Chain A
Amino acid sequence: MNLDWFRQHLLACPFKYITGFDCPGCGLQRSFLELLQGNIKDSFFLYPALFPILITFIFLAFHLKFRVPNGSKILMGLIIFSSTIIVISYILKEVQFHTTM
């Protein structure tokens, strides 16, 4: 798979372009690229919420196709879990960034 094409065509974050601050979604594409290359550790440290998000989408497709019993409740739990991880990891990343600068 030619990952160089992806690496040159990532979507830039307008918020980071203007202010220089990360937004809560920054790092998702880099993290996904690292995951495609097999670097699970780098991928996790770039964007820890990638795994819950991927699991949520895979489960969503599975649930819509096969109608898992109580699937909607499981999906809701997964969504709340991943949004919590997004918020916590973003706060930790910003705190770490501003204390080390």
Chain B
Amino acid sequence: MENQNPPFPPNPPQGNPYQQNPYQQNQPMGGNPMGMQQDVPNATLVLVMGICAIVICGLGPILGTIGLVMSGAGKRLYQANPSMYKESSFKNLNAGRICSIIGLCLGVLVWIYYIVVLVFVGAAIQGATHYSNY
């Protein structure tokens, strides 16, 4: 049986015992070439993008789309080989993905609102010299 093989690297990592997966020997795809789990690529970036998509007004659709695309790539990589990546990192990726979707929807609504105001109300160009314009 493949599962009863010793772990792939002859010397398992001694530094951090928390990074070892205790279920590694029970999983069908136990072939973990690194011997320790790594972060899902771009998980941190997707999380930051998702949060910035909501907070930065007007850029929500752009940042949200970037976050969604990057999270799609990361999710595919994780599902191809789940035992290779940390689960907490995958949760970060999922949270970033959901934040990106929320930011995208809100941002699209804001853009529609902008267009409506610009079309029906706009054309009254005011100066930006007053303090309340910032």
Q: Which residues of A contact B (CB under 8 A)?
A: 10-13, 15-21, 23-26, 28-30, 53, 56-57, 60, 64, 67, 69, 71-73, 75-76, 79-80, 82-83, 86-87
Please name all residues of chain A whose beta carbon is closer than 8 Å to the beta carbon of B106 when the two chains form the complex: 83, 87
A75 to B48, CA, bound (A): 11
In the complex where A11-B134, A87-B106 touch, is A20 in contact with B124 (Cβ < 8 A)? yes
A21, B110: Cβ atoms under 8 Å? no
In the complex where A11-B134, A19-B118 touch, is A82 in contact with B54 (Cβ < 8 A)? yes
A87 to B107, CA, bound (A): 11
Cross-interface CB contact of B95 among A10, A18, A76, cutoff 8 Å: A76
- SS of B interface (majority): helix
Q: Which residues of B contact A (CB under 8 A)?
A: 44, 47-48, 50-51, 54-58, 88, 91-92, 94-95, 98-99, 102-103, 106, 110, 114, 117-118, 121-122, 124-126, 128, 131-134
A86 to B26, CA, bound (A): 47
- SS of A interface (majority): helix
Please name all residues of chain A whose beta carbon is closer than 8 Å to the beta carbon of B121 when the two chains form the complex: 19, 21
A15, B55: Cβ atoms under 8 Å? no
A15-B58, A21-B117, A72-B94 are known; give 18 further A-B pairs, CB within 8 A. Answer: A12-B128, A12-B133, A13-B134, A17-B126, A18-B125, A20-B126, A23-B110, A25-B56, A25-B58, A29-B134, A30-B132, A57-B55, A72-B91, A73-B91, A76-B95, A76-B99, A83-B102, A86-B54
